[in-house]
Amino acid sequence: MLMQTMQTTPISGQKPGTSGLRKKTAVFRAPHFLENYVQSTFNGIGGVAGKTLVVGGDGRFFNDTAIQIILRMAAANGAAKCIVGQGGLLSTPAASHLIRLRQADGGLILSASHNPGGPDADFGLKYNGPNGGPAPEAVTDQIFECTQTIEYYRTCTADDLDLETIGQQSLADMDVEIVDPVADYAALMETIVDFEKIRALFAGGFTMCFDAMHAVTGPYAHAILEGILGAPKGTVINGTPSPDFGKGHPDPNPTWAKALIDKMYGADAPDFGAASDGDGDRNMIVGRGAYVTPSDSLALLTAHAHLAPGYRDGLAGVARSMPTSRAVDGVAESLGFGCFETPTGWKFFGNLLDAGKVTLCGEESAGTGSDHVREKDGLWAVLLWLNILAETQKSVAELMADLWATYGRCYYARFDYEAVDSAKATEMMHDLRSKLPMFAGASIGALEVEMADEFSYVDPVDRSRSDGQGIRVVFEGGARAVFRLSGTGTQGATIRLYLEQLETDHDRLQEDAQKVLANVRDAALQLSDLEAITGRTAPDVIT
């Protein structure tokens, strides 16, 4: 085996976004692109000599090739050991758990999450630290700096490793351990939720459909739901991971998981429906004829978490990203614990979880999680829901109706304008920012502005500051509009407009969300001049 030091030069566009580096697969496959980024990651975290890393991905196209490249580079950089999921597979939450369980120094997760996979679609890579969570900004900044000055990377000539056979192998002086991707994760779930109760629920005839969207949660859901918990075979659909996710878009929302939504609103709907995304960290929850928004799901789980063994002693606190609806705030207030508001990005929850300030957290972007790992966790959310359904013996629709009757309902929608010309999107945000001082007290259509600002965050644990995290306009009467540019897109800019309207009138808790949100939508479009500036008259996706 030959150790090689390869000359290279910086490649532009290697700045990690909301969740690691995401690019078109073709970009990742271009000469030196992956190698430069991996070496910069190693350099940016102070080298990997003597370290143990967890490596795995969501099985998308290029996953296997990229893992072999990473393993050769890790060996050449002196890593002591890599722990790799069998077949190169690890869901993001399972990778987070493995880092923590094995006290590894960190991990490399190969995924572009919910983005489509394939040679013409997307690929991604991110580094998670020793706490199992996405690297904080100080680290990703460091990595980015290294990408701009890189002169060489280290690799070695070696045959591909056999990723299919569980057990120990070696690559130069580095140990490689191939592990069952599901076993440790399933064992963790059993310590959190009441498997007996859920088993009894299924044994009693409760029906469910879990859509794995041809992505990584297939093996996990087959093993846990149908295997351990005894749900009938066929409960899990699209359960075999495929490199292009069955040519689908593995994003669990009503647009991309439409087949599941149709089933849940159809005549023979099962009792419970759920889906997860490409790498298994997102979730969608839908009852019979009852879609649950991610923001509402966070509120519901917060209100009932104590029914599960892992949270029997109550929650230390909760956190939500700023654009996530304020539904959970009322629950936290009434249960007497803190509710933190963070910028978008799971990494911002890490310090709060590590410091024990929060137990549960969630985002409007279909992420919910807790302190059991340092990533959001799709299947965990589904299992916690099942635990709550088993304990309360209520339907999803009944649970939601109870929640809204107690706290009011936060009607919510997110409008996405995708692949907008970057300059125009920036101009719109810039314009909004400059107009902010004029908004306070202004009447816009039917609404009056109560407060408007650009969100910035000071981390309560390490005091780090993150500016420019979205423009929010709060209106009198419980309405709010938030504007931000997505940090995960791979083409042009994606403008996200988040709309919310709190309704506490008991007679108006079952209205059509888009109708209820019409006033705040009109006001937001007027304030931002979005349509004139971008030329877009309708969002590409509404979630």
**What are the residues binding ligand G6P (CB under 6 A)?**
18-19, 113, 321, 344-346, 363, 365, 367, 486-488, 496
- Laid out side by side, the sheet with 174-179 consists of 21-24, 122-128, 106-110, 52-57, 81-89, 174-179, 167-171
| Nearest 10 degrees: Cα torsion 251, 254, 256, 262 | 130
Say whether residue 251 binds Zn ion (CB under 5 A): no
Say whether residue 277 binds Zn ion (CB under 5 A): yes
| Binders of Zn ion in range 298-357 (CB under 5 A) | none
Query: From the CB of 373, what's the least distance to ligand G6P, in Å?
Result: 13
CA–CA distances in Å: residue 74 to residues 25, 126, 147, 167, 417: 22, 15, 17, 19, 39
Query: From the CB of 275, what's the least distance to ligand G6P, in Å?
Result: 15
| Binders of Zn ion in range 482-521 (CB under 5 A) | none
Nearest to 249 by CA among 12, 541, 521, 482: 541
Between 138 and 267, name the residue whose CB sits nearer to ligand G6P.
138
| Residue 22 structure tokens | 């995401």
Query: From the CB of 92, what's the least distance to Zn ion, in Å?
Result: 6
Query: From the CB of 460, what's the least distance to ligand G6P, in Å?
Result: 18
Among 194, 211, 279, 363, binds Zn ion (CB under 5 A): 279
Which run of H or E residues covers position 509?
Answer: none
Say whether residue 115 binds Zn ion (CB under 5 A): no
Query: From the CB of 62, what's the least distance to Zn ion, in Å?
Result: 17
What residue type is assigned to position 143 of the chain?
I
The item of Zn ion, ligand G6P, none sharing an interface with residue 19, based on CB under 5 to 8 Å by kind, is: ligand G6P
Active-site option among 96, 113, 325, 528: 113
Between 133 and 408, name the residue whose CB sits nearer to ligand G6P.
133
| Residue 183 structure tokens | 């076993």
Between 77 and 113, name the residue whose CB sits nearer to ligand G6P.
113
CA dist 95 and 83 (Å) reads 10
| Residue 517 structure tokens | 């949100």
Q: Is 113 a catalytic residue?
A: yes
Nearest to 430 by CA among 279, 309, 534: 534
CA dist 327 and 315 (Å) reads 17
The item of Zn ion, ligand G6P, none sharing an interface with residue 279, based on CB under 5 to 8 Å by kind, is: Zn ion
Count of residues in contact with Zn ion, rule CB under 5 A: 5
The item of Zn ion, ligand G6P, none sharing an interface with residue 377, based on CB under 5 to 8 Å by kind, is: none
**Which residues on adjacent β-strands are paired with residue 473?**
452, 481
Query: From the CB of 317, what's the least distance to Zn ion, in Å?
Result: 24
Among 14, 40, 77, 113, binds Zn ion (CB under 5 A): 113
Query: From the CB of 491, what's the least distance to ligand G6P, in Å?
Result: 12
**Rg (Cα) of the chain, in Å, rounded?**
23
The item of Zn ion, ligand G6P, none sharing an interface with residue 277, based on CB under 5 to 8 Å by kind, is: Zn ion
Which run of H or E residues covers position 220?
Answer: helix 217-221
What residue type is assigned to position 532 of the chain?
A
Between 72 and 496, name the residue whose CB sits nearer to ligand G6P.
496
Say whether residue 281 binds Zn ion (CB under 5 A): yes
**Which residues on adjacent β-strands are paired with residue 176?**
82, 169
Between 245 and 346, name the residue whose CB sits nearer to ligand G6P.
346
Q: What are phi and psi of 338, to 5 degrees?
A: -75, 155
Say whether residue 194 binds Zn ion (CB under 5 A): no
DSSP 159: P
Between 245 and 407, name the residue whose CB sits nearer to ligand G6P.
245
The item of ligand G6P, Zn ion, none sharing an interface with residue 346, based on CB under 5 to 8 Å by kind, is: ligand G6P
Q: What are phi and psi of 291, to 5 degrees?
A: -75, 135
CA dist 54 and 159 (Å) reads 20
Query: From the CB of 432, what's the least distance to Zn ion, in Å?
Result: 29
DSSP assignment of 74-108 equals HHHTT-SEEEEEEEEE--HHHHHHHHHHTT-SEEE
The item of Zn ion, ligand G6P, none sharing an interface with residue 365, based on CB under 5 to 8 Å by kind, is: ligand G6P
Strands 471-475 and 465-466: unpaired
Q: What are phi and psi of 524, to 5 degrees?
A: -65, -40
Between 137 and 277, name the residue whose CB sits nearer to Zn ion.
277
CA dist 342 and 136 (Å) reads 13
Task: Pick the piece of the chain touching Zn ion (CB under 5 A) from 136-144, 216-224, 269-277, 440-448.
Answer: 269-277
Between 370 and 486, name the residue whose CB sits nearer to ligand G6P.
486
Say whether residue 122 binds Zn ion (CB under 5 A): no
Nearest residue relative to Zn ion (C-beta): 113
Contact set with Zn ion (CB under 5 A): 113, 277, 279, 281-282
Catalytic sites, residue numbers: 113
